[in-house]
């Protein structure tokens, strides 16, 4: 679970199972009412509300992906109306764990950590079972005379590999945030706003800069330059 979300900022995610439900509002109105009633009991900023028309068994949820992106950009919490709308889906739980986004269910606020812990315990149990089967297989291999083991004497090389892996993870997270944030800044730039004006707009929207700093025109310019380099396109300057 993410530890840096701003519990006053929320992104609401609603899911209905059929197109008919999506058009009629059946189920959707009740979900929205539950979320708004929950948020009405505390100071909050509702950044966005997204509606997905998908089967609970379908792992491909573009609106959920967009909700995750908005949560990461705004350091917000994902809020859902009812835990059973999502928690029954293994894909959803997997996405939550991988997204780095905190979430809360309006009908059972305590369930966010509880549910993740239970599911994590199940995953841990499965991993332990795999480990025990692996150990048993290795023991059987030793009994057959198979030579096991690797090079444990080259600790500097192992440490170097660890450092590279850590750097790769940090780079992947930075690239993910850039993908999330690029459409927001690009839209403002295309609307003719200056770098300084965009920085002010980002601050007003509560979107933090990298490492929790304050947005400046120079930071906006550098961000767009990095995005342009990654995409192979010239950045708009001035």
- Which helix (H) or strand (E) is 142 found in, with range? helix 111-143
Active site residues: 17
Residues of the chain scoring pLDDT < 70? 1-6, 18-26, 55-59, 84-95, 97, 112-117, 119-124, 127, 147-159, 212, 231-238
pLDDT of residue 31: 92
3-state secondary structure of 47: strand
Residue carrying structure tokens 């059946």: 26
- In angstroms, the CA 214 to CA 219 distance is 9
Strand-pair partners of 77: 10
Q: Is the pTM of this model over 0.75?
A: no
Architecture of domain 9-109: 3-Layer(aba) Sandwich (3.40)
Residue 51 DSSP symbol: E
Q: Where are the domains of the chain?
A: 9-109, 172-231
Give CA separation, 87 vs 31, 81, 106, 109, 192, in Å: 15, 11, 13, 13, 43
3-state secondary structure of 25: coil
- Tell me if 47 sits within 8 A of 76, measured CB to CB: yes
């Amino acid at each position: 679970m993410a530890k840096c979300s701003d519990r006053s900022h929320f992104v609401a995610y609603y899911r209905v199972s059929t197109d008919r439900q999506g058009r009629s509002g059946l189920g959707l109105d009740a979900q929205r009412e539950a979320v708004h009633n929950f948020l009405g009991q505390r100071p909050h900023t509702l950044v966005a509300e997204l509606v997905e028309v998908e089967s609970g068994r379908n792992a491909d949820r573009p609106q959920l992906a967009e909700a995750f992106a908005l949560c990461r950009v705004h350091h917000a919490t994902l809020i859902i109306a009812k835990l059973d709308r999502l928690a029954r889906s293994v894909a959803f739980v997997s996405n939550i764990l991988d997204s780095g986004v905190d979430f809360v269910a309006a009908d059972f606020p305590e369930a966010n950590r509880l549910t993740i812990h239970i599911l994590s315990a199940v995953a841990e149990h499965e991993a332990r079972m795999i480990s025990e089967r692996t150990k048993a297989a290795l023991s059987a291999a030793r009994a057959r005379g198979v030579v096991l083991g690797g090079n444990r004497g080259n600790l500097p090389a192992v440490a170097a590999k660890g450092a590279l892996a850590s750097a790769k993870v940090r780079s992947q997270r930075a690239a993910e945030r850039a993908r999330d944030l690029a459409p927001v800044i690009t839209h403002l730039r295309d609307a003719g706003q200056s770098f300084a004006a965009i920085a002010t707009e980002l601050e007003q929207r509560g979107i933090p800069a990298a490492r929790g700093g304050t947005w400046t025109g120079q930071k906006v310019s550098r961000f767009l330059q990095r995005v342009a380099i990654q995409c192979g396109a010239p950045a708009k300057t001035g």
